[in-house]
Amino acid sequence: MYKVFVNDALIILTSSLKKENNFPTYNFKDIVVDKIIQQLQNKEALGLTLYSSNLEKDWKKFTSFMTVIPAAGGLVLNSKKEILFIYRNNVWDLPKGWIEKNEAIETAAIREVEEECGIFDLTITKKLLTTYHIYFHKGIKLKKTHWFLMTSNYDKELIPQLEEGITKVCFKNVFKTDEALKNTYANIKLVYDTYKEG
């Protein structure tokens, strides 16, 4: 199964016939990809399910309509199990960024967290998941972000990467994390839920 966000709307591409939500279901072979993306961008639906009889083949076809941008980031815990957040464009987010050419995914994830937050001593604990979201900039782009659970005992001042539009960086306890998740992106909630599920 693949979950792709268009803003907060969701496209689920699945080979399962089990109905797991109230979204309308279409057969992948019957749809026009850019048309359904447009519908979701225009908020004509909260989401839709696309049934596929050959998931990998249809995923390849789906992604052929857009430029895939590989990215990596982290959900970072400190010694108190607080979560590292960044604040950009009036939204709480987790640090992430583009993978550079010939760069290993894990290296990119650590580099981006360091650059965006001014934090060091990061250790990757495990891979959490990969998220997908569509945005529009000189055509349709699909950002494919590899997320890792990380830890750090770094206790010096955190410095937001202002040139990337990040205005705040801080660790949040459970209560403040719940507040931040009310003002974040749908795929960030998915990263957090995956972390909570262990």
Given the candidates 3.40.250.10, 3.30.365.10, 3.90.79.10, 3.30.930.10, the CATH classification of the domain at 68-196 is 3.90.79.10
First to last CA, the chain: 20
- For CATH 3.90.79.10, list the domain ranges present in the chain: 68-196
pTM of the model: 0.93
Q: If the chain, 198 residues long, is cut into consecutive pieces of 10 residues, what is the mean pLDDT of each piece?
A: 94 89 92 91 91 97 96 98 97 98 98 98 98 93 98 96 97 98 96 96
- Return the pLDDT at 178: 97
According to DSSP H, which parts of the chain are helical? 33-41, 55-63, 105-117, 174-180, 186-196
